[in-house]
Amino acid sequence: MRRTARQVLEANDRGDHTVASPHVYPYQWLWDSGFIALGWATIDGARAWRELETVLRGQAPDGFVPHVLAHRAPGRRFPDPDLWGRPGDPATSGITQPPVLASVALRLLEHARGAGAQSRRQGEAAALRLWPSLMAFHRWLHRERDPLGLGLVVSVHPWETGMDDSPAWDSPLAAVAPRAGPGPPELPGPTADRPGAAAYPRYLGLVDELRAAGYQSSALAVRGSFRVADAGTNAVMARADADLALLGRRLGAGTGDIEEAQGWARRSAEALSTLWDDDAGHFLSHDLVTGRALRPATSASFLGLWSGAASPSQVQRLAAHVEGWARGWHPVPSSDPEAASFDPRGFWRGSVWVNVNWMIAQGLGEHGEGALAQRMAADSRALLQGAGMREHFHARSGEGLGATDFSWTAALARWWLGME
């Protein structure tokens, strides 16, 4: 398994970036690259930093970082760069993804500092090069995606959450005008492992809306037809803001930048608490169009553990839910197993994802739930040993689903699960 994980990363390496999967996803994805960089750190520290530097190559002057960069991709795979109408070198999408980069950069720096003097110097130099871009990205998120000053980042397309086909999006997506005409080309792989075809006209309708608005994020965050305060994205944001401030202190960055990041961290943590539903015992996403909490609870609900902002009582209730969802299922299913919409093999509708498991387990360990975190790691390791480096996994049988040779699975096998 150690050899396989390394082989997948090396096969998917394109020199300065890593494709998510050569057969299905031949581009570079934003949050994928964060997890992938952690895997590279176990092989080649310089290559890990280059992964982050390359994904930030697509950053716009205003700080926006796109969720997809299409570097020299052979052929076309939906959604290809033409969909977004944003030509460039590389061509990019017009939406973003959960901001894991600052948290990854902090971990890479800590890893480099433990690997000897030369690695430490190289890591500090690389982190200093990234610092202005990371600050600009966070400024953009807080300015353009929180125009009302609520402290919550607004997602304007389900794809921005990273959990594309989550049942939490069924209700807000139903209010979106679908694109007329034929749907997208069929993606490789079993259709049951992919997002539901019925959602695609609405996904594409949103792309049309975003393009027509010229990707004016602050306006879309106020008036767009899909506006969600995603529990997962905002938990990642709270952790990323705090990690950005800590990274700045470690690097000796300017006082003004550090104080700005600390202010974001306080506001993000406070705002995340507004997504807590005490009756459900979960953080729940909110539809900002209707003002309603979005059910069912999903694996994003547990990322409050990763945020560092959950209270002790919230940690206890979330840990109990992790235990409950694991009864009869591999932890953590991506949707509540008791919900009518639950599908144990469905794409973000019940199947298990290693990247989310890692964040949940890290949060559990940091909050004193080490035994449960270790059980999650052991189960995740067993999934990979049984099915290989797959995109996601059947929540009951452990069958590998979706793309094969999936980069973030291989990366976290090495960084988290000890397959290095």
Active site residues: 164, 391
Q: Mapped to the 3 state alphabet, what secondary structure does the chain carry?
A: CHHHHHHHHHHHECCCCECCECCCECCEEHHHHHHHHHHHHCCCHHHHHHHHHHHHHHCCCCCCCCCEEECCCCCCCCCCHHHCCCCCCCEECCCCCCCCHHHHHHHHHHHHHCCCHHHHHHHHHHHHHHHHHHHHHHHHHHHHCCCCCCCCCCECCHHHHCCCCCHHHHHHHHCCCCCCCCCCCCCCCCHHHCCCHHHHHHHHHHHHHHHHCCCCHHHHHHHCCCCEECHHHHHHHHHHHHHHHHHHHHHCCCHHHHHHHHHHHHHHHHHHHHHEECCCCEECCEECCCCEECCCCEHHHHHHHHHCCCCHHHHHHHHHHHHHHCCCCCCCECECCCCCCCCCCCCCCCCECHHHHHHHHHHHHHCCCHHHHHHHHHHHHHHHHHHCCCCEECCCCCCEECCCCCHHHHHHHHHCCCCC
- Evaluate whether 362 touches 306 at the Cβ level (below 8 Å): yes
Q: Is 58 left (phi over 0), alpha (psi -120 to 50) or beta?
A: alpha
- Evaluate whether 172 touches 226 at the Cβ level (below 8 Å): yes
Picking from 191, 288, 280, the residue whose alpha carbon sits closest to that of residue 230 is: 288
Q: Which residue has the tokens 């235990």?
A: 323
Instruction: Please tell me the distance from the alpha carbon of residue 246 to that of residue 256, in angstroms, as a whole number.
Output: 13
- Evaluate whether 408 touches 33 at the Cβ level (below 8 Å): no
Instruction: Please tell me the distance from the alpha carbon of residue 344 to that of residue 334, in angstroms, as a whole number.
Output: 9
Task: Please state the separation of Cα 327 from the chain's center in Å.
Answer: 26
